[in-house]
Structure 1
Amino acid sequence: METFKVGLIRVLTTEDQEVLLAHGKTIMEIFPGIEVETKCIPDQYEGIHSEELCRIAIPKIVETAKTFQDADMLIVSCADDPGVEEIRKEIPGIPVTGGGETTAALALKYGEKIGVLGITDYAPAAYRRLLYGKMILGKPDGVDSTLDLLTPEGRASTLKKGMELKEQGAQVIALACTGLGTIGIAGELEETTGLPVIDPVIAEGLFAYFEKVRRSSHRIGQRQ
């Protein structure tokens, strides 16, 4: 099977290799034939949890994107999709996506009322654009950054907020922070709420897998 190479950018600066490689590991375990190389941007130890931090991160993300060699696709593993449009302009000809637009697109398959569960008081741009008029926004109490999700209190608060979104009429929960993918809470949220839950790490991996299959199918078609 031909390998499809993905360059994945983490917007959380970390020296912890387990944390750094977590998203790429998940994608490679689920989607066959995908090889992920992961890099994180510098000096962003709390990741992105505000519009100001997003603005600061974008130039770093673009520069990091330029350092990948021979990547078939680039993923900015963040639900805010910071730098995605800028990378598309700077590196034309290579597919680029992020955790936000992929998650929002998949959520539409499951209903008209989308519970958007993240760590900010606002929905990321892709959610606002793609889910306009369909969102029910929820932020767990006491969770203000990706690091808060790593605590037992942060996890419990996230599960509680998921139930609140269901009670407000949500038909599906779209996670709006890839840190929620890092802690692998989607399955537990599904058990707790009974709703389908879209994990942004898996969503961006699915889009990469589709790109791999799309290219392979085109080559097969050309040979026939």
Structure 2
Amino acid sequence: MLGVIRVFTTADDAIVAAHGQLIASLFGLETRSYCIPDQPLGIYDAASHQQAVPKIVAAAKKAAEDGAKAVFISCAADPGVQECRQVLSIPVIGAGSAAAGIGLAMGPRVGVLNLTGSTPPAIAGLLGKHLAAEAAPQGVRNTTDLLNQAGMSAAIEAANILARSADVIVLACTGYSTIGLAKVLRSIVGVPIVDAVEAGGTVAFYCLARRMA
């Protein structure tokens, strides 16, 4: 079983389970999803990141106690990944580093589509000199803005700009997975698109398959 940690608070079980269900549908893995308490806005700055880490560790420990053979932290900033690895004996996968790794495997020039701001260190640090370009949709502040035509058009425009100087584009926000942006871009943009949740599922499948071998 793969434990999927969502780094925000909600009482909506369907929202909590969405990324785990995506991984289950693609890779046939059993998943169980967890969210952290008292952070309805999730992680949005350094302070909220710091507050979230011990909660993520607690959720990962709970997943391991429930029988998880690996844990996936569904956030492109990889919050708590290193801390979880220090206390758990099972694989701990971060969405950001998983996406960066698959991006590197697909081409030497990696473009990164952020939601806002600059590329998360978990991704930029792994890509190093292979980070060919980065961009974010103009006028977009959160994934909700992508649900209207203006926001989606801005994301497509930013991806098309990245494609001019990149062999592959990494989506550096797991919220993009929630709205299915990768599927839209794959039908329009002329380079491969790496979805961060799909990337985490790919690594999880490899980890769990090796444990069963």
- Write the distance in 2 (CA, Å) between the matches of 1:170 and 1:203: 18
- Write the distance in 2 (CA, Å) between the matches of 1:57 and 1:7: 17
- Write the distance in 2 (CA, Å) between the matches of 1:86 and 1:146: 27
Residue 66 (structure 1) aligned to one of 42, 45, 61: 61
- Write the distance in 2 (CA, Å) between the matches of 1:47 and 1:153: 24
* 1:172 paired residue number: 168
Contact 1:74/1:96 (8 A) holds in 2: yes
Contact 1:149/1:179 (8 A) holds in 2: no
The answer to whether residue 73 in structure 2 is matched with residue 76 in structure 1 is: yes
Residue 161 (structure 1) aligned to one of 155, 158, 161: 158
The answer to whether residue 86 in structure 2 is matched with residue 89 in structure 1 is: yes
Q: Tell me, which stretches of 5 or more residues in structure 2 are unaligned?
A: none
- Write the distance in 2 (CA, Å) between the matches of 1:18 and 1:157: 28
* 2:45 paired residue number: 50
Letter in 1 for 2:141: D
Contact 2:104/2:130 (8 A) holds in 1: no
The answer to whether residue 33 in structure 2 is matched with residue 38 in structure 1 is: yes
Contact 1:46/1:145 (8 A) holds in 2: no
Contact 1:118/1:139 (8 A) holds in 2: yes
- Write the distance in 1 (CA, Å) between the matches of 2:12 and 2:145: 16
Residue 116 (structure 1) aligned to one of 112, 116, 119: 112
Contact 1:115/1:165 (8 A) holds in 2: yes
Return 111-120 or 43-52, whichever deviates more: 43-52
1:173-221 superposed Cα distances (whole Å, 9 cap, x missing partner): 001000001111112112221110001111101111101211222xxxx
* 1:214 paired residue number: 210
Letter in 1 for 2:102: L
State the percentage of identical aligned residues. 40
Return the index of the structure with the highest Cα Rg. Answer: 1
Letter in 2 for 1:205: G
How far 1:15 sits from its partner (Å)?
2.4
Contact 1:74/1:97 (8 A) holds in 2: yes
* 2:4 paired residue number: 8
What stretches of structure 1 move > 4 A for 4+ residues in a row? none
How far 1:17 sits from its partner (Å)?
2.7
Q: Tell me, which stretches of 5 or more residues in structure 1 are unaligned?
A: 218-224
- Write the distance in 2 (CA, Å) between the matches of 1:59 and 1:86: 8
- Write the distance in 1 (CA, Å) between the matches of 2:92 and 2:203: 10
How far 1:118 sits from its partner (Å)?
1.4
1:131-151 superposed Cα distances (whole Å, 9 cap, x missing partner): 112221111112223443444
Contact 2:70/2:208 (8 A) holds in 1: no
Letter in 2 for 1:96: V
Letter in 2 for 1:137: E
Instruction: Go from structure 1 to structure 2 and tell me whether the alpha carbon gap of 1:189 and 1:118 turns closer, same or farther (over 3 Å shift).
Output: same
Letter in 2 for 1:128: A
How far 1:55 sits from its partner (Å)?
2.0
Q: How many residues align?
A: 210
Letter in 2 for 1:142: G
Over aligned residue pairs, what C-alpha RMSD do you find?
A: 1.5
